Amino acid sequence: MPSSSSDAPAFTQVDWDEVGDGVGRPGARTIGFGLALGVLAALLAYDFVINPDKTMAPLEWDVRREGWLVLVSLVVVARYGLVPLVADRDRTARYVDAFRQRRAGVLALTYLTVFAVIGLVGPGVFEFSYAKLGHRLQPPVFASVSTDIVHTYSCVGPVVDGACQGTWQYPLGTNYIGENVFKNWLSGIHVAFKVGISTAVIMATVATVVGTVAGYYGGVVDDLLMRYVDIQQTVPAIVVYIILATLFLGNMTNISDGGLFAFALVFGLLDWGGIARLVRADAMQRRTTGYVRAAKAAGASNLRVMRRHVVPNSTATIVTALTRRIPLVILAQIGLAFLELNRTRPVSLGNVLLVGVMGRHMPWHVKWWTTVPAVLFLVGMVVSFNVFGDTVRDVLDPREEAQ
């Protein structure tokens, strides 16, 4: 939105309705946020109380616990990520300009966006099909595998010189139980997306609140909160999860090991210590800046100062810390799934890798197509998150703006 010249008032009037809350009155954003959460709560109540077993009527979608978590997370991301960007188009345009000058950042963002979309909609696009044992260990397109390596091997595609050729029916081949690797790959990305977003939102919320309160108030509040973080960090979330999963979650009917929901809660609620520390350091620094003192001098309450001035100025720190943390959390889930400590439906990449490396019929390096796509995706994801985090830090950091 150009802020210049003659047509400014019409624009700015609209823009102004979006900015800031009045004296005790909730702003449009708060109302919208509340409404969205309310709708979700109503749907949740409907799903659990009135119609517990069936799928949601209009969508034919059986939303399960982790599904609700993801929906809430999406609403939070929209409220605190997308709405501010859309509302302040002037500023967004500057970010976009700054972002575009950083090639690596653009590439990373593209990668993450593409796979987020794939993760979000991927499994819905393809209809479910049962694994066909007869079609096991098919090679991917443009690749081939020797047919005499396995007994009773039936090749779907043409056999040329004793080598089975891949077909488009299974673009990435199949694994030893005849599952379509491409579909498993998609569902793995779907699970990774769900793990990432729901854990990240829980983590970011807790870390931001705790870090900001500790850093802003200081003194005893800071001591208490940060000593708790110290204690929490001595016991990694993954250990807590393994203990919970093996002792309590394993034998309950229909719950298995708690799946994604338990994973997201345990990691979201116990793995935010590092981020909280960074946010705290930021808040301590902000506390003495001129604009925080000016806001206090203008009569703003502590809550308002934190919400309007301290947290928005820590955005770069929070986003960067999250981009470091999210890939680690996704990898942790995959690791647990590989160890069969976190079963998900659809399957996680951990499960895909586990099935892929099992040495049945063929050694794992011969049936490379069952594992390589997952590994490549993960490598790309970790690199992209890191590059994206660096770029975002450069672009968002308000301190850089003066230059």
Kindly list the distances between the CA atom of residue 219 and the CA atoms of 71, 250, 376, in Å, as whole numbers in the listed order.
37, 43, 47
- Given the structure tokens 């309007």, which residue do they identify? 308
Q: In angstroms, what is the minimal distance from the CB of 218 to other proteins? A: 6
- Given the structure tokens 């802020």, which residue do they identify? 3
Q: In angstroms, what is the minimal distance from the CB of 202 to other proteins? A: 25
Q: What type of residue sits at position 203?
A: M
- Distance from CA of residue 70 to its chain's centroid? 9
User: Please, what is the end-to-end C-alpha distance for the chain in angstroms?
Assistant: 22
Chain residues binding other proteins by CB under 8 A are 3-5, 8-9, 12-13, 16-17, 19-20, 22-23, 90-91, 218-219, 287-291, 293-302, 304, 308-309, 312-313, 398-399, 401-402
Nearer to other proteins by Cβ, of 223 and 230: the residue is 223
Cβ-proximal residues to 236 (8 Å cutoff; 6+ apart), any chain: 271
Q: In angstroms, what is the minimal distance from the CB of 305 to other proteins? A: 10
Nearer to other proteins by Cβ, of 82 and 104: the residue is 82
Q: In angstroms, what is the minimal distance from the CB of 256 to other proteins? A: 45
Cβ burial 96-131 (10 Å sphere, 16+ → b, else e): eebbeebeebebbbebbeebeebbbebbeeeeeeeb
Q: How far apart are CA 352 and CA 75, in angstroms?
A: 30
Kindly list the distances between the CA atom of residue 208 and the CA atoms of 211, 231, 278, 309, in Å, as whole numbers in the listed order.
5, 18, 9, 13
Q: In angstroms, what is the minimal distance from the CB of 401 to other proteins? A: 5
Kindly list the distances between the CA atom of residue 22 and the CA atoms of 25, 28, 130, in Å, as whole numbers in the listed order.
5, 11, 57
Nearer to other proteins by Cβ, of 231 and 294: the residue is 294
Nearer to other proteins by Cβ, of 16 and 168: the residue is 16
DSSP per residue over 81-118, as a string?
IIHHHHH-HHHHHHHHHHHHT-HHHHHHHHHHHHHHHH
Q: In angstroms, what is the minimal distance from the CB of 113 to other proteins? A: 25
Nearer to other proteins by Cβ, of 293 and 345: the residue is 293
Nearer to other proteins by Cβ, of 51 and 289: the residue is 289
Nearer to other proteins by Cβ, of 218 and 380: the residue is 218
Q: In angstroms, what is the minimal distance from the CB of 221 to other proteins? A: 10
Q: In angstroms, what is the minimal distance from the CB of 20 to other proteins? A: 6
Q: How far apart are CA 284 and CA 125, in angstroms?
A: 48
Q: How far apart are CA 341 and CA 61, in angstroms?
A: 26
Nearer to other proteins by Cβ, of 256 and 285: the residue is 285
